[in-house]
Amino acid sequence: MSLAACAGLVARADPDRFLAAMAAPVAARETLFPIYALNVEVSRAPWVTQEAMIAEMRLQWWRDALEELAQGKRPRAHEVVGPLAQALGEGTDWGALDRFVAARRWDIYRDPFEDDAHFERYLQDTAGTLMWVSAQALGAAEASEAAVRGFGWAVGLANYLRAVPALEERGRIPLLDGRPTALVALAETGLARLSDARDAAGPIPARARAALRAGWLAGPILKQVRAEPGRVAEGALGVSEFARRARLMALSATGRW
């Protein structure tokens, strides 16, 4: 039942990752849904309250819960933590997961990113870690970490650019430089990292590639930004429902990502 609860949570809050997980083999879904549900819980923690202290406490709850799993303690009575304990094995990068949660503290406050390095680190600690831990749980070895993280960073960038209007509505300053030229440069960086990751895909086992398929829309979105950077401010990034499903079906059928 808890695994079903994780799948339901992801379906409601993160439909793109839900579809990607549903395209994976059943055994892989049992690993991916709890990890994606963790991402939903952690990413929304800063937004469910306007009280910074309460948001900090919510994130700390998850850091404590993950630390207990890392120490082999009994999972907390929570619909996500239980299945997560089954999905994450002894080789899990627990330190990265702690940073994954801690990085979301930026979402609580209204301060802009300090510099480009801060923005880079935010995407790496959030989206990069999510992609790496997901792939690692499905058998990816350390030799592929750089490629997987690079791919995850680019996926995170695409998703982040889609969220820019919503972040601005909530009083955040999401971008250090929102000029068209800067957005085009960001998109080009993301597309280069997607390409580099695919070129280095050799060490990534077929089973683990189900995790990377969560980035199935990153390429088309980043290409939109490169061609029409004004779409970012307009909230007009994305593809049609037909194109979404057709792309996922094609990637799944060919084993690509």
The tens digit of pLDDT for each residue in 161-175 reads 999 999 999 999 999
Direct distance between the N- and C-terminal alpha carbons of the chain, in angstroms, rounded to an integer? 30
Q: Which domains does the chain have, with CATH numbers?
A: 2-254 (1.10.600.10)
What is the per-residue DSSP string for 103-152? TTHHHHS-PPPSSHHHHHHHHIIIIIHHHHHHHHHTT--GGGHHHHHHHH
Alpha-carbon distances of 17 from 60, 135, 197, rounded to whole Å: 25, 14, 19
| 64-91: average pLDDT | 95
| 71-99: average pLDDT | 95
- Note the pLDDT of residue 255: 86
Is pLDDT above 90 for 89?
A: no
147 close to 201: Cβ distance less than 8 angstroms: yes
Summarised one tens digit per residue, pLDDT across range 208-250 is 999 999 999 999 999 999 999 999 999 999 999 999 999 999 9
Residue 57: CB atoms within 10 Å: 12
Query: Which of the four pLDDT bands, split at 50, 70 and 90, describes residue 1?
Result: low
Would you state the structure tokens that stand for residue 90, as one six-digit string? 């002894």
Is pLDDT above 90 for 202?
A: no
Closest listed residue to residue 196, CA positions, set 239, 237, 144: 144
Query: Which of the four pLDDT bands, split at 50, 70 and 90, describes residue 81?
Result: very high
Query: Mean pLDDT over all residues of the chain?
Result: 96
In whole angstroms, give the CA distance from residue 172 to residue 254: 40
